[in-house]
Structure formats: C-alpha cells, structure tokens
Amino acid sequence: MTAPTLTREPQTAAVNRPGQRHRRRTNWTALAFVTPYVVMVLAFGVGPVLYALKLAFTTSGGGFAGTDNFSRVVNDFRFLPAVEHVGYFLLIWLVAMVLLVVILALVVHAVSVRWLSGVIRLAFYLPGALAGASSVLLWLFMLDPGASPVGSLLRGAGWSSFAETIAPGHLPVIFAVIAFWTGAGGWIVVMYGALNNIPTDIMEAARIDGANVVQTALHVQLPLLRKWIAYMAVLSLATGTQLFVEPTLLSQASNAVVPNDYSINQLAFQYAFDLNDVNGSAAIAVLLLVVALALSALFVARGGLFESEGP
C-alpha cells in the first residue's frame, strides 16, 4: 500500500525521518547535522558491537573460543527462564503499545477543543519526562498495597502485601505496565503528529462519503499510520529486549525476591560483573542483538517502513 501523504516530513514529530530520497548537491548544513550522529554511532554503537563480537568468540586469554561462550551461557540454568521472562514481557508490552497508543492518539486527535487536546497530550507525555530509574522508584510505592494510592485496587486483585503483588507470575504484566506508563506518552504525541499530517481533504472526503469516526479511523487513518506503528514497534522492541532498570530496581527493593538475573540483560550484567566473565556476557549481548535484529527486520518488512513510493 502506498501512503503518498506521508512522504512529507511530519511537522510536530520529535523523531528524525530517514534522509531525503533524492540527494541533489552537497548539502553542508545537512552534513553538519549528520556527522556528530555518525561519529557517535560509530563510537558507541557500531564499535561496542564489533568489540562484543570479538569478545563473544574469544576466550578470556584472547584465543579463539568457537562457540564455547555461547554454549556456556545458553546452558546456564538462568538463561531460558530469562528468555521466557523477556518474551512474556515483550508480548504484553508490544501489543499494549500498538493498540493503546494508537487508540489514545486517535482519541486525542478527535478532541476538537484546542486547550483540552493540549492538556491531554501534556498529561500523556509527563511520565516520560521523568528519568528512567526515578519513574521506576515511583512504582515501588505504587506496588505496595500499604503505601499505594491505588492500594484498594491491588487488594481488590487479592494482593494484600508487596510480596504478593510481585509474585513471579505477575512480573511480566507489572513491567509492561511500568514501561507503558513511562514510554507510551512520547509515542502518543508522535502518533498525534502523524495524524495531523493526514491532509484535511482526505478526511473531508471520508466524511462526505458518510464515514463515521470509527470508519474513518479504521479505513483512512490507520492505513496511513502503518509505517509509524511499525516504526514504534521496532524502537520499542529494541528497548524492550533490553529490559534492565525495572527488574534491577525491583530486585533491590524486594531484597532479591525479584531475582537480579530476571532478564537477559541482567544475566549479561551478572556474567560481566559478578562472574568476571566478559566473554560470556558478550555472547549474551550478541544473541540479544541477533534476535532483536531479526524481529526488527520482520517488523520493518511487514510494516513497509522503508518502502519508497514511486515518483
């Protein structure tokens, strides 16, 4: 499907769009903007990845290790549970992100009172303005029925103590809720910007054709949002597979009832800093990279993120 109306740069979106399709002549301003990013990506993105690849295939002494590091970490009794934990979390979180963010953005967009729409967007965005760890700290109180402002809700669910709230089975949902709360707001604002970019004549035409709000959303707005949704899914996947801050803080707060090897990234951290095994840690990082890249590629392909429209 083509979406000609989205080839223009979104005005309100806070995210970079991929570069221009047609490079005309050397654009020094653009180069000046891009260079620092490229330098940073090489230094802190590509460089560490190459370094991790090297570590993952070598021994602590520097010799070639083959796949030893990989088989060691995969056979660790903590590896599969960690994969399972992150998998559940991702499933819940990504589905929630895609559904709720789109629905909320559509709702906000449908609000025609200007100040109200602004206030709602600000309210959605605010939690994301808190830095990662501090927003999780806030949740430590939310999850304790004795201290939580929504304690009655927790007790209603049958959880009368912090320990009952953070039972192992509840954790994927809890982490998904925390991650949604901290991360969804920014995306709602981005989607809102994308919705603004749909020309009024298309919306007008839909209205004249007799489409109601739901029909317009389903048949006009959603198809035009597809790339944005795929884009959000890819970036969220990147963040989600690296689940770390939430379980780490909850682990400290619960005196390790939430284990410090709950997620894959935490296990990598344990390998590097507890077991002094940077090679094993790098092997986990590489596995994580491969899986995340594969899933990203799937989203990119299904979402048509890089489809270019004919002239």
Partner 1 sequence: MRIARQSWIVNLRAGAMALTVGALAVSVAACSSSGGTKKGKYGFQQSSQDSSSAITVWVDSTRAAATTAFKKANPNVPIKVVTYDGSANGSNSFKTKMGLYDRSGNGWPDVVFSTQNNDASWASQKTGGKQAFAAVLNQGLVPDDVLSVFAKGALDPCTVDGHVYCLRNDLAQTVLWFNKSLMDQFGYSVPSTWQEYEQLSAKIAQEHPGYLTGSVGDTWVPEVFMWASKCQANQVTGARTVKVDTTTPECERAAKLIDAGVGNGTLTKLSVFSPDFVKKFSGKVLMMPGPAWFAGAIFNSKTALNVPSGQLGVAAPLSWGDGPAVTGNVGGGTWFVSSHSHNLAAAEKFVQFVTTADDYQVELAPGYPAYASAATKWLAKQADSGYYATSLAPLQAAASQVWSGWGSPEFSQEAIWAKTMAPLVTSGKSVADNLDTWGTAIKNQAQVVGYSVS
Residues that bind partner 1 (CB under 8 A): 18-19, 21, 40-41, 44-49, 51-52, 55, 60, 76-78, 144-147, 160-164, 167-168, 234-235, 238-239, 242, 244, 251-252, 254-257, 259-260, 265, 268-269, 272-276, 278, 281-282, 285, 288-289, 292-293, 296, 300, 305-306, 308
Residue 284 near residue 267 (C-beta atoms within 8 A)? yes
Q: How far is the CB of 141 from partner 1 (least distance, A)?
A: 10
CA–CA dist 285, 294 (Å, integer): 14
Cβ within 8 Å of residue 211, ≥6 positions away = 219, 220
Instruction: Give whichever of 11 and 255 is closer to partner 1, judged by the CB atom.
Output: 255
Residue 64: strand, helix, or coil: strand
Q: How far is the CB of 1 from partner 1 (least distance, A)?
A: 17
Q: How far is the CB of 48 from partner 1 (least distance, A)?
A: 4
Cβ within 8 Å of residue 199, ≥6 positions away = 5
Dihedral sign for Cα atoms in the order 67, 68, 69, 71? positive
Instruction: Give whichever of 64 and 77 is closer to partner 1, judged by the CB atom.
Output: 77
Instruction: Give whichever of 96 and 300 is closer to partner 1, judged by the CB atom.
Output: 300
Q: How far is the CB of 310 from partner 1 (least distance, A)?
A: 13
Joined together, the tokens standing for residue 127 give 């939690």
Instruction: Give whichever of 184 and 233 is closer to partner 1, judged by the CB atom.
Output: 233
Q: How far is the CB of 150 from partner 1 (least distance, A)?
A: 16
Q: How far is the CB of 189 from partner 1 (least distance, A)?
A: 19
CA-closest candidate to residue 93, choices 153, 222, 181: 181
Joined together, the tokens standing for residue 300 give 């990119």
Instruction: Give whichever of 52 and 94 is closer to partner 1, judged by the CB atom.
Output: 52
How far lies 268's CA from each of 75, 81, 108, 260, 262, in Å? Answer: 14, 14, 40, 11, 11
Q: What is the DSSP secondary structure assignment for residue 78, as one 8-state letter?
A: T
Instruction: Give whichever of 206 and 245 is closer to partner 1, judged by the CB atom.
Output: 245
Q: Strand pairing partners for 58?
A: 64
